[in-house]
Structure 1
Amino acid sequence: MRTDSEIKSDILEELAWQPNVDETEIGVVVEDGTVMLTGVLDDYRKKVAAEDAVKNVRGVKALVGDIQVKYGANYQKTDLEISKAIVKAFEWNTAVPEDEISVEVRDGWVNLSGEVDWAYQKDAAKRVAENIIGVKWINNAITIKQSIQPADVKEQINKAFLRSADIEANAITVEATEGLVKLFGTVHSIAEKKAAEDAAYLSPGVHIVINELEVID
């Protein structure tokens, strides 16, 4: 079992390793494997990069992100400018069915809604929006259409786990009911937990993934 001080030390090193993140701008608190990040950054992409870096550290069981995003005067954008930029970016990304997605922006906070066929389309929309200057936070409320039976969903997810080099498939149990998937079992990092969740979302017909995987050392 790794100590909180060991985990914190690795987190600080991982943040320092990120080319677009200044670790001195981020506060790190670790308690029983749960990590809280605090601070103020000038770019939403830096916030995402910092949180992703923490998830890769062994021993991290949960992440509470409290980093705020405040843009400098040269990068201030109106909600209309942000909305237009997101819609334009959707048009250039073949993974995003822009006609199926609505964008609402209030004070830099982005709400994405609509219904798409695949979870990867929902995730792609969020990733595109993350790269738009002026975005402070994203609520991805896009839903997934139901298209196949629960038994088929479970089978496809299990096969995806077996194909993945990042997931220990034998330690994960999958339950599927009408577009809802629950994951049980153990993994060795938040990154592996997220990889399992992402693999589940890639199955057609999956609306929601309840990820109850436990992170163990």
Structure 2
Amino acid sequence: MLKGLKRSYEERSFWLPIAAVAIIFMLWLFGPQDTWAQAAEDHDIDDGKITLALETELQLSEAVPSHLVNVSTNEGVVTLSGSVSNILAKERATELAETIKGVRSVVNNIEVRAVIRPDEELKQDIINALLYDPATDSYEITPTVNQGVVTLEGTVESWQEKKLAGDVTKSVRGVMEVKNNIQIDYLERRADTEIEADIKRRLKNDVWVDEALINVDSEGGDVTLTGTVGSAVERRWAAFDAWVMGTESVDTSGLEIKWWARDEMKRKSPHEEMTDSEIEAAVQDAFLYDPRVHSFNIEAVADNGVVLLSGTVDNYRAKMAAEKDAMNTVGVWRVKNHIKVRPLDLPENETLEDLVRAALVRDPYVESYDIGITAVNGMVYLDGEVTTSFEKNHAEKVAWRVNGVVDVVNLIDYAHTWTEKNDWEVQQDVMNQLYWSPFVDLDDVRVEVENGVVILDGTVDTWIERITAGRNAFEAGAKDVWNKIEVRYNGPYSILPEEEE
């Protein structure tokens, strides 16, 4: 698990030549006399500063080829325009914008200029992607394609299944737009009080959301969320949590974004009141709403915030999804994943290699690379060369989704370079990233730099804050990161770097 976190730090490039831009940005952003603390007290962030922060974030992102993406901001509303090569990159641009402090909403007018493919060929690839994905293989979904625009029809039992079918479709090379007309047929009708209770419980258990500032109301399954959130991305996650059994629609227009609210309202640390039994129940609740996981009998045992997962699943993607679900649960600070993968039908080695190869060829990010694939009794070995660490990690995740894969060994190589910057530049760039993040309180983190290596220290409220701070440091251009930040759970717990190996 923690190796996966280490890999995730690499998802954005830290070798791009932005040092000179960063220095000018820092001086312009706060001026020579201002301090980071003074900047944090300014509730009204200038639109120009938001634009430049997002442009920097897009430049660092390996998932978004941003050389043709334009950004403008008006009263906290970000408008994206230009073009990218695939629909996943377009959606990633929205997600990045939503994580910038001060952004109230995002209008994404980016054009997807994907490779042109014949409609029938694209349709067959979509059918295969849905058929060979271990979670969507049983869905009765019919795709139609018209010049790269895909319409999905059919019926599923939950909003999460509907969203997953759309996500699988978007991962196919050549898809420019997805119209998801899949209908949700709930197994039973539920009272509004039950729906509201489920939503409140999901919000409370979600480490990315503060439920104390959100009000929930349901009328005939039409859910309305009102109150305050700290960022546009927190509003998005709150909307996801509101889709429980019985939900017909979700309205989040009444959720006001106040990025400073977390400090001024003295948000409580949710971990302090979570017992191990409550954590176990929360993890199981997360499994219930994950279509990749809910059909399996996975046991979660918590010991002082450390969750041990065990049981058996029939695909590797389900194992990794369960781990992520547990990690995103309030009160959890570490996950030990002992889940066993036992495919219902283990393909022959050559057959499995063909299935993984077909999945990689369908993918819009890695289809052009010559990636070697070797399968041995369910173990898949990937080798070859790609351009970025994001592409390396993405190729591995594509292999996860193939039925019959028990584990993946990723031997793919990419360019390991680092643009030289002096320690002051690195420190200022890291503090800039931490300032713009809605998940990290800069006052709680100390940043030191020695020969390009960033040392993070301090104490934060949540495990997610610790992970995010480390990721932000890599994004800012650190050569390496030593994360010494402690996390408060009934007293500080320190996760030392050697535990992350």
Asked whether the two chains share a fold, i.e. TM above 0.5, the reply is yes
**Map of 1:83-98 to 2, 5 A cutoff?**
83-96=123-136, 98=138
State whether structure 2 residue 183 is matched by structure 1 residue 140: no
Matched ranges for 1:50-199 at <5 A: 50-71=93-114, 75-96=115-136, 98-146=138-186, 147=188, 148-199=190-241
Greater C-alpha radius of gyration: 2
Contact 1:143–1:207 under 8 Å retained in 2:
no
Determine the structure 1 residue equivalent to 2:63.
20
Higher mean C-alpha displacement, 139-148 vs 113-122: 139-148
Larger deviation, residues 95-104 vs 9-18 = 95-104
Q: What is the root-mean-square deviation in Å for CA atoms of aligned residues?
A: 1.6
Amino acid at match of 2:208: D
The 8 Å contact of residues 96 and 122 in structure 1, kept in 2 or not, is answered as no
1:185 aligned partner, one-letter code: G
Range with bigger deviation, 110-119 or 186-195: 110-119
| One-letter amino acid matched to 1:120 | Q
**TM-fit CA distance, 1:22:** 2.8
C-alpha contact 1:117 1:205 (8 A) present in aligned 2 = no
Q: After superposition, what is the alpha-carbon deviation per residue over 1:163-214, rounded to whole angstroms, capped at 9, x for unaligned?
A: 111111011111112332111111111110000011112x112232112212
Relative contact order, CA 8 A, sep 6+: which one is greater? 1
State the distance in 2 between where 1:57 and 1:89 align: 33
Summarize the Cα distance change of 1:46–1:119 in structure 2 as closer, same or farther, 3 Å threshold: same
Gaps of 5+ in 1: none
The answer as to whether partners of 2:66 and 2:84 remain within 8 angstroms in 1 is no
Residues 20 and 84 (structure 1 numbering): CA distance in 2 closer, same or farther, change over 3 Å?
Answer: same
The whole-number CA distance in structure 1 between the counterparts of 2:163 and 2:137 is 12
Structure 1 residue matching 2:78: 3-state secondary structure: strand
User: Do the aligned residues in 2 keep the contact of 1:119 with 1:207 (CA within 8 Å)?
Assistant: no
CA distance in 1, matches of 2:85, 2:227: 38
Q: Structure 1 CA distance, aligned partners of 2:183 and 2:220?
A: 13
Q: Pick one of 227, 242, 245 that aligns with 1:204.
A: 245
In structure 2, list runs of 5 or more residues that go unmatched: 1-43, 260-501
Secondary structure (helix, strand or coil) at the match of 2:110 reads: strand
The Cα of 1:97 is off from its aligned counterpart by 6.0
Secondary structure in 1 matching 2:208: coil
Equivalent pairs, count: 213
> Which among 36, 42, 45 is matched to residue 85 of structure 2?
42
Measured in 2, the distance between the counterparts of 1:64 and 1:190 equals 12
Q: Note the alpha carbon deviations across 1:111-141, whole angstroms, 9 max, x for none.
A: 1222211111011011111111111111222
Identity within the alignment, %: 26
SS of the residue 1:95 aligns to:
coil
**Structure with more of its chain in strand, by fraction:** 1
Contact kept, 8 Å, 2:139 with 2:156, in 1: the verdict is no
- Return the alpha-carbon distance in structure 2 between the equivalents of residues 131 and 82 of structure 1: 12
- Tell me, yes or no, if the aligned pair for 1:145 and 1:205 is still in contact at 8 Å: no
Partner deviation per Cα, 1:19-68 (whole Å, 9 max, x = no partner):
13233210001000111101122222221221211111111111111111
Q: Which secondary structure state, in structure 1, belongs to the residue aligned with residue 165 of structure 2? A: helix
